[in-house]
Amino acid sequence: MVLLVDADSLIFASCYRSKSDNSGNESIHYENIEDSIVKFDEQFMKIVNDLEEKYEIDRIITFNGSKGNFRKQITKSYKANRKTKALPPLLNDMHNYVKKNYNSIYAYGIETDDLVAKYWYTISNEIGRENVMIVSLDKDYKQFPALIYNYHFKHKTILNINKDQALYNFYEQMICGDSADNVQFFKGKGPSFSRKYFKDCKTKYQFTKQLYLLFKKKYKSKARERYIQCYTLLKLKEK
């Protein structure tokens, strides 16, 4: 098994003090990078050890810290909701630590999940999708027929998404949007609406046609422009 580890969330979490930390410090962030490093290393190895109980791990490829996301050029609203949130002081240092010590892969102009998607697409075509697994909390990966390990302590679940599920997941996301990235084209419409709206759709053509009708109803003459914008913001670049 080849593991593709999207480490961005792990790095972010490693900058925060653990609930078990009884240092009495009022700050929610670590101030000493050694503390963040210990937390990251422990969490990373716990994930690998848990998966090694079920799979023979042949290779681990780590990804983090890609910059210059092209989507911000499409609309200024993309992730604009995050600008007011203060970032952990050690975040940049931790990204550099992982890049150096885990020989991680990063790029400019795309997001980390785009890069993971590209590697997943290439490797799954080379050795089979059953031999490569994405390790991440990010729901965006559900648009691929992939094995995905959600390592959150409340889940610790391996998703095995087939092609039909992946197709549906992406078109549902275009309706539901992504509040974390400030992508909302149909506020108030969620999974329940999507299931009913797409109930007769089976093929990509049918999903596309049905979804475009919804854009047409709301955005009128701007429907095509908004549809393309939504698709581009949400679709990961696997090729």
Query: Does residue 50 sit in the same domain as residue 154?
Result: yes
Which positions ≥6 away from 226 have C-beta within 8 Å? Answer: 185, 215, 219
- Asked if residue 13 and residue 81 are part of one domain, the reply reads yes
Could you tell me if 34 and 125 lie in one domain? yes
Per residue in 152-164, pLDDT (tens digit) is 988 899 999 999 9
Final residue before a domain boundary, out of 127, 146, 161:
161
Which pLDDT belongs to residue 20?
66
Task: Give a yes or no: residue 219 inside a domain.
Answer: yes
Each residue's pLDDT tens digit, 87-142: 999 999 999 999 999 999 999 999 999 999 999 999 999 999 999 999 999 999 99
> Exposure pattern of 159-198 as b/e (b: 16+ CB <10 Å)?
eebeeeeebbbbbbbbbbbbeebbbebbeebeeeebeebb
Based on the fold, state whether residues 125 and 7 are members of the same structural domain.
Answer: yes
**One domain, residues 131 and 81:** yes
Q: The domain containing residue 90 runs over which residues?
A: 2-161
Q: Residue 81 pLDDT more than 80?
A: no
C-alpha distances (whole Å) from 18 to each of 30, 49, 90, 211 are 9, 21, 15, 43
Q: Looking at 161, 189, 210, which one is the last position of a domain?
A: 161
In a domain, 239, yes or no: no
The last residue of a domain, from among 145, 161, 177: 161
pLDDT at 23 over 90: no
Same domain, 109 and 21: yes
Inform me whether the pLDDT recorded for 22 exceeds 60: no
Question: In the chain, how many domains are there?
Answer: 2
